[in-house]
A = this chain, B = another copy of it.
């Protein structure tokens, strides 16, 4: 009985929310999120220009994640990063964040090439922190799930702003 009521309720909710709205031929889609699974509770910038503007105006370092949907390394890092409450809190409170699936035209964001996953920090002074690297000599800005401690340390480095270091 309860099951039937629940089903009827679900159908009603579904109907009422789609009535008169456009539905693609291929069926209803889940709306795309800006987080793309890297932290649904965080506030993501949409573009690099936007992220730079936020970083400057709020005086917070920017962390840019380059990734691809079909890349298993990206997926593995995404799972680790989004499940880590400590990192998520730090990102939410102390960073401006941006995740991109397409490269920008700014070559400073690919100091040693375009690959994924790749994490680049940018200082609020708009200087790319090419000095903040992971542990792979051939892909200096790559991180694996097991490198999460290194990433955390690098986030701490990025929080020491260049201006305050002078």
Decide if A28 touches B41 in the complex (CB within 8 Å).
Answer: yes
Interface SS of A by simple majority: loop
A92-B22, A92-B24 known; A101 vs B39 contact (CB < 8 Å): no
Total count of chain A residues near the partner, CB < 8 A: 37
- Copies of chain A in the complex: 2
Contacts of A50 in B (CB 8 A): 101-102
Decide if A102 touches B24 in the complex (CB within 8 Å).
Answer: no
Among A20, A46, A83, A103, max chain B CB count under 10 A is at A46
Contacts of A85 in B (CB 8 A): 20-22
A75 is an interface residue with CB less than 8 A from chain B: no
Assembly CA distance A88 to B101 (angstroms): 25
Assembly CA distance A141 to B71 (angstroms): 39
Assembly CA distance A46 to B103 (angstroms): 11
Chain A interface residues (CB < 8 Å from chain B): 2, 5-6, 20-24, 28-29, 31-35, 39-41, 43-44, 46-50, 53, 83, 85, 88-89, 92, 100-105
